[in-house]
């Protein structure tokens, strides 16, 4: 492997080479690490000429009398509060001994390591072999405080990806309070002022809308204060060059591997310089760092694409499949499932569930999932969370019997849990009312008639692990859907002293990761699927433990066009669980063809959310064909390269193609949203194919060269109804 990180000692410059991109850091003569370049590849060389010295009005000077250098205009790698930079800092530390918040971090040392270190207590990307990556650890120090701040940069040989995180080490004698600890901060020059800010925002059942706005002077940001990454915002954003699209233009993507409160900000200052930051939200965050203690921030993933949003997404998808997802299910084909939720809700018994499983098995499905309602006295959503004991009124012979019945149909058996929650009406709450997240003396706000268990506490995690593990060991369970259906209020922990209460939200996330680590290691054969009211915690932190997430509680195919399009900007198709559900759709009341529902759901980890024994003969025949087709192309759809062809955000259509890595095969899908009268002849032009190879449309005699398909396209059948879809399977000949 060629060297990925080069240090030029004479100019104190670091060149981090990641595939076809370069990130350059220079240590200023005063010890400040400066950002010099991030973008297309440049060879290691002197960059001294890029350090601009300029007198800036109202820009305080670090060296008295030297008016040509101010941190307020310097492109910094780790900006701090209070020492002449008026922009948003990446680090802020309160010093109780004198009430100061001033930091002065200067370069002390560095080391370059092969491979990539794990982050204590946090999910992070990893290397399969040490030669896959190199890591720069830049050690900065505030000598007065004895505080070391280690900025970690890892670059990967095969991907234009850089990962960043920050580690605090208190080597002083006094305790400190970390109030702001961002994972990444990048300063761009004024030539980036015409870029746009792309965010993924929404709400429950309407997650990850793509919103793009020009950078304006001031601060643009997205964040979560809900205790989770949230339906409302996603810990991802991109800076896109003016005019950039799927195929053209420079794009810089930022994604945080974290499942709690986050902030992502872009600040364009009065001189049009641009600062992009991402990390733990400093809102209601304060971490007491005692003498000798350390604190590690989550990891940020930074990706550069000179070829638009499409290339950015494909690089992230490939990188996450190789270096984030792990465990037995990392590369396995996911089973096609049927979930009983919309078929029965809370009203079921063993016979009804067995009938649904049999109907699924008869059309070739591989997994039956029992959703909410199987435990305690759970006849609605107001009771029993935390009491993970089988409801013998519904299932008199228990889960083991039901699992055997399902297995007898030739299907695997899966189960729903909501491990992090507790109902006020539950035996667990009556026994341990202080185990929920709360503030003594304050009202305990309910959400969905439930509270959140304080999993920052080891004894709470141990009880959850004990009770759920008992179920997982007794019944033949191959899949778990891990749900989380309310956000944090009255954020406090009975186990923490007053001065540490603002650590609660982050300690909760660390407790969540600890539990997920336990369950995925204790039960490695189980496929775990993340969920939070659908897509309310669709983030890279969860994906480290669970290779797929229920993308949204909204299973309407037309709504899913936008939801899945937005999600795909950052996350691989293999991570997006998508199901065919009944019509009228239970979330929006829309009626769409069964065929279209299948075509849209096949884009992700595929399944059904219905009683297939109750569908028409026509729909059942269509389902059989869908399952047969999906099994033929499942590996391609899960691991191929995605090209988004038409956006449902900007047109009456949505189209995409998934292409095999060797370009030997592809599946293209097109959906017309509303049917228009007197339509002209329309085509969908494809991407990602080999222009010199010929491709046959499977099931026909049609053969086309790749260049023709990518220049002229495939003709679209004239829609005969709203929500009309087509799918093409192409194979090289």
Name the residues annotated as catalytic.
483, 553
Q: How far, in Å, are 256, 487, 575 from residue 161 at the CA level?
A: 13, 32, 20
Distance, CA of 66 to CA of 54 (rounded, Å):
10
- Going through 583-664 in order, the beta strands assigned E by DSSP cover 605-609, 641-646, 653-659
Distance, CA of 339 to CA of 347 (rounded, Å):
14
Give the pairing type, strands 724-732 and 665-672: antiparallel
* Closest listed residue to residue 210, CA positions, set 532, 567, 533: 567
Strand partners, 600: none
What sections of 523-614 are H helices per DSSP? 540-545, 557-568, 594-601
Distance, CA of 707 to CA of 687 (rounded, Å):
9
Side-chain-side CA neighbours of residue 604 (13 Å): 30
Two tokens at 666? 């592809």
Give the pairing type, strands 91-94 and 33-40: unpaired
Q: Find all residues with CB under 8 Å of 30, minimum gap 6, and list them.
A: 62, 63, 69, 106
Residue 405 is inside which H or E element, if any? helix 398-408
Q: How far, in Å, are 423, 453, 507, 520 from residue 512 at the CA level?
A: 19, 11, 9, 12
**How far out from the chain centre does Cα 113 lie?**
27
Local structure of 54: helix, strand or coil:
coil
Radius of gyration in angstroms for the set of CA atoms belonging to the chain, rounded to a whole number: 27
Query: 129: burial class by Cβ within 10 Å (0-12, 13-18, 19+)?
Result: exposed
The secondary structure of 176-236 as a DSSP string is: EEEEEEEEEEEEE-GGGTT-EEEEEEEETTEEEEEEEEE--BEEEEEE--SSSS-SSEEEE
């Amino acid at each position: 492997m060629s060297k990925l990180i080069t240090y030029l000692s004479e100019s104190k410059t670091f060149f981090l080479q990641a595939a076809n991109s370069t990130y350059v850091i220079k240590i200023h003569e005063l010890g400040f690490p400066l950002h010099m370049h991030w973008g297309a590849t440049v060879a290691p060389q002197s960059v001294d000429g890029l350090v601009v010295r300029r007198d800036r009005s109202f820009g305080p000077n670090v060296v008295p009398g030297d008016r040509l250098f101010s941190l307020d205009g310097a492109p910094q790698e780790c900006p701090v509060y209070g020492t002449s930079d008026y922009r948003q800092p990446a680090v802020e530390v309160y010093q109780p001994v004198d009430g100061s918040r001033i930091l002065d971090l200067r370069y002390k040392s560095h080391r370059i390591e092969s491979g990539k270190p794990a982050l204590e207590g946090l999910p992070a990307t990893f290397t399969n072999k040490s030669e896959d990556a190199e890591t720069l650890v830049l050690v900065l120090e505030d000598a007065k405080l004895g505080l070391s701040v280690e900025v970690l940069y890892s670059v990967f040989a095969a991907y234009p990806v850089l990962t960043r995180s920050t580690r605090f080490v208190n080597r002083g004698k006094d305790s400190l309070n970390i109030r702001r600890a961002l994972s990444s901060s990048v300063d761009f020059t004024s030539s980036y002022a015409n870029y746009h800010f792309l965010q993924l925002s929404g709400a429950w059942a309407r997650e990850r809308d793509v919103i793009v706005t020009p950078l304006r002077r001031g601060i643009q940001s997205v964040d979560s204060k809900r205790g989770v990454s949230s339906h409302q915002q996603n810990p991802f954003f991109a800076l896109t060059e003016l005019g950039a699209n799927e195929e053209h233009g420079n794009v810089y993507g930022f994604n945080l591997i974290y499942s709690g409160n986050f902030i992502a900000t872009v600040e364009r200052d009065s001189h049009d310089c641009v600062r992009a930051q991402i990390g733990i939200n400093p809102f209601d965050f304060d971490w007491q760092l005692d003498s000798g203690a350390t604190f590690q921030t989550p990891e940020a993933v930074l990706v550069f694409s000179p070829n638009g949003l499409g290339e950015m997404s494909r690089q992230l998808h490939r990188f996450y499949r190789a270096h984030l997802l792990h465990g037995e299910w990392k590369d396995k084909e996911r089973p096609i499932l049927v979930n009983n939720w919309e078929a029965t809700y809370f009203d079921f018994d063993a016979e009804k569930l067995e009938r649904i499983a049999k109907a699924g098995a008869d059309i070739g499905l591989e997994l039956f999932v029992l959703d909410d309602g199987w435990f305690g006295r759970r006849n609605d959503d107001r009771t029993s969370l935390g009491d993970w004991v089988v409801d013998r009124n519904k299932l008199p012979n228990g889960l083991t019997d039901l699992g055997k019945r399902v297995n007898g149909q030739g299907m695997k058996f899966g189960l729903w849990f909501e491990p992090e929650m507790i109902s006020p009406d539950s035996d667990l709450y009556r026994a341990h009312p202080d185990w929920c997240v709360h503030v003594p003396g304050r009202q305990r706000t309910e959400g969905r008639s439930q509270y959140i268990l304080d999993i920052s506490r080891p004894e709470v995690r141990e009880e959850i692990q004990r009770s759920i593990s008992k179920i997982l060991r007794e019944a033949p369970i191959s899949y778990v859907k891990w749900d989380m259906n309310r956000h944090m209020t009255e954020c406090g922990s009975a186990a923490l002293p007053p001065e540490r209460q603002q650590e609660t939200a982050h300690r909760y996330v660390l407790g969540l990761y600890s539990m997920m680590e336990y369950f995925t290691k204790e039960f490695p054969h189980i496929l775990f699927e993340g969920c939070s009211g659908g897509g309310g915690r669709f983030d890279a932190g969860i994906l480290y433990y669970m290779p797929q997430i229920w993308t949204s509680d909204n299973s309407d195919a037309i709504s899913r066009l936008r939801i899945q399009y937005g999600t795909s900007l950052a996350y691989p198709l293999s991570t997006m669980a998508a199901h065919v559900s009944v019509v009228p759709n239970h979330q929006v009341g829309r009626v769409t063809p069964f065929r279209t529902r299948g075509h849209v759901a096949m884009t992700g980890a595929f399944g059904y959310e219905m009683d297939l024994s109750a569908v028409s003969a026509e729909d059942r025949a269509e389902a059989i064909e869908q399952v047969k087709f999906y099994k033929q192309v499942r590996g391609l759809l899960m691991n191929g390269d995605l090209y988004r062809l038409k956006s449902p955000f900007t047109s009456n259509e949505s189209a995409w193609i998934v292409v095999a890595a060797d370009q030997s095969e592809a599946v293209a899908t097109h959906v017309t949203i509303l049917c228009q009268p007197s339509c002209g002849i329309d085509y969908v032009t494809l991407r990602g194919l080999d222009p010199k190879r010929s491709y046959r449309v499977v099931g026909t005699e049609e053969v086309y060269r790749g260049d023709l398909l990518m220049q002229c396209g495939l003709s679209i059948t004239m829609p005969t109804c709203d929500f009309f879809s087509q799918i093409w399977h192409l194979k090289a000949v």
